[in-house]
Amino acid sequence: MSLKFAYTVIAIFVFLALFADFVAPYPYDLQNRQAPYHPPTRIHFFKDGRITFPFVHKYELKDPLFKIYEKTELTCKVRIFDKTPYGFKLFSVEEPCRLYIFGTDKLGRDVFSRLVYGARVSMLIGFVGVLTTFILGSVIGGVSGFLGGKVDTTIMRLVEVLLSIPTFYLMLSLRSVFPLNMGSFELFLAIVFILSFVGWAGLARVIRGMVLSLREKDFVYAAKTYGAGTFRILFKHILPNTYYYLIVSATLSFPGFILGESALSLLGLGVQEPVPSWGNMLSEARNIPLISAYPWILTPGVALFMVVFAFNLLGDQLLKR
């Protein structure tokens, strides 16, 4: 049951990330200055006690100072698979209403749309970061364990130095090397580099220990007898025997990359506005009075919790198998 739950949550967020342009009703940078901190729009399925086609009410800002909205009698139908000024969308509403499922932020931007586009950024950084880290960690750890000698000693001393540095401060130090005004794509590559550089050392040490054990197995001696080269033995016979550990470890490491990106973005050092990520969306939620007045700005935190919990649950279940 728990495994199905983990797969379901992960599948939902992967779907949102892949089809963000279709699922999000509005562009992530579309501002409505007439609707700051608009409350979540309630979708109605009943009218006069009878089931009807989904509709919403139009809201009007009555108090600009305290952001108090009032529901009017004007209603608009919710359209499914509709062509809008922003492209073909999964759902939308007729004018002049607005569909803000999770409300809006201080600039009147739809939180749901930004959450969906933020899933694309956060999940992609997690996937690319895990892939890069595990390629580096498995190759470097495998070479270190299989060759041994001075190569092993040099690599392990480097690993120990990296592991002795507090991870978060190392991330901040590496981020300070890059300029703050980088473009979105360059910044994406920089964050992946930072997280991968921080994460490969621990994996390399574990893989090195596994390779030290595997290189003494009979199938390795048999491959040497048939004239197989060093790297052929390593990549064709030894490292494939570590794949199960790598898969389980990847599911447990994936949340770390998402949390690392979120931490950098929360501090203003990661993905920059207006491009959304769950981290920079949560930067607005550091103000307690804002959270109490507009609790929907914590929605990215809920999404972050769900993804991290699902991946940890998946990794835990794979470890038991």
Q: Are residues 141 and 211 in the same domain?
A: yes
Asked if pLDDT for residue 11 goes beyond 90, the answer is yes
**Which band of pLDDT confidence, cut at 50, 70 and 90, is reported for residue 190?**
confident
Give percent above pLDDT 90 in the chain.
Answer: 34
Q: Are residues 74 and 129 in the same domain?
A: no
**Which band of pLDDT confidence, cut at 50, 70 and 90, is reported for residue 182?**
confident
pLDDT tens track for 231-246: 888 888 888 888 888 8
Among 109, 130, 154, the domain-final residue is 109
pTM of the model: 0.86
Strand partners, 57: 75
pLDDT at 185: 66
Q: Flag whether 7 is in a domain.
A: no
Domain extent, residue 145, equals 112-319
pLDDT tens track for 200-240: 888 899 999 999 888 888 888 888 888 888 888 888 888 88
pLDDT tens track for 116-130: 999 998 888 888 888
Output the average pLDDT for the chain.
Answer: 87
Domain count, the chain: 2
How many whole angstroms separate alpha carbon 316 and alpha carbon 86?
A: 41
Please give the full DSSP string across 245-312, using - where no structure is assigned: HHHHHHHHHHHHHHHHHHHHHHTTSSSPTTS--HHHHHGGGG-HHHHHH-GGGGHHHHHHHHHHHHHH
Pick from 84-93, 129-138, 159-168, 288-297: least confident: 159-168
Q: Flag whether 9 is in a domain.
A: no
Among 82, 109, 136, the domain-final residue is 109
CATH number of the domain to which 303 belongs: 1.10.3720.10
pLDDT tens track for 275-316: 888 888 888 888 778 888 899 999 999 999 999 899 888 888
